[in-house]
Each structure stands twice: as structure tokens, then as C-alpha cells.
Amino acid sequence: MNKKLKNIPKFRNKDDERKFWDKADSSQYFDFDSAELVAFPNLKLTRQPISLRLTKSLLTKLKLLANKKDVPYQSLIKLYLEKAVTDDYYRLAV
């Protein structure tokens, strides 16, 4: 595809850039057909601690499962949440 791409404007600050990309159609600025896969092995995801109230019985079950899988129970909770959210996200996106 040989379509004419728009030039990305200069931004005064990060907020202006965020507002622009929230509304802009990025396919008018980038040729995704010629894009290359890039990996960022040292990129750390931003994490935010939360407080989550669980019943004692659910927490006990989670700890027993985590022990059987030989992983920390909080890591197991994150894995379960990630899978459930990802599955739901893609199921609802269709």
C-alpha cells in the first residue's frame, strides 16, 4: 500500500500529545503493513498496590492452590485475574 501518511505534529507537552492520540486515527500517521515487531525486554510494567477483601475460605483455597503450584498466592491471584480479564475482553470485543 502506498498511501500518503500525515506528518505527526509537534506537541507542547505530554498532555497535548495524549489528547491528540486519543482522537487521531493512527493509521493515517503510520504504515502498519510495514511495521516490524519490537521487543522491550527491560520495560517494567507500572504496578499499583490495591486492597482486596476476600473471604477467609476463598483465601485459604487460593493459598492451597498456590502451594500445590509452588507459586506465591498473590502471583496466582494476578494470573487468574489476568486470564479472566483477557478472556472477557476478547469475548466482548467480538
Gap between the Cα atoms of 68 and 90, Å rounded: 29
Q: Are residues 59 and 86 in the same domain?
A: yes
Residue tagged 517494567 (cell numbers) = 44
Q: Are residues 85 and 50 in the same domain?
A: yes
DSSP secondary structure of 18-81? HHHHHHS-GGGT--GGG------TTPPPP---------HHHHHHHHHHHHHHTS-HHHHHHHHH
> Cα separations (Å) of 21 from 9, 26, 39, 40?
11, 7, 22, 22
Q: Are residues 25 and 47 in the same domain?
A: no
Is it the case that residue 1 has pLDDT exceeding 60?
Answer: no
pLDDT in the model for residue 34: 87
Interval 10-69: pLDDT, tens = 999 999 999 999 999 999 999 888 888 888 888 888 889 999 999 999 999 999 999 999
Specify the CATH number for the domain of residue 89: 1.10.1220
pTM above threshold 0.95: no
Q: Are residues 51 and 32 in the same domain?
A: no
pLDDT in the model for residue 94: 64
Q: Are residues 27 and 50 in the same domain?
A: no
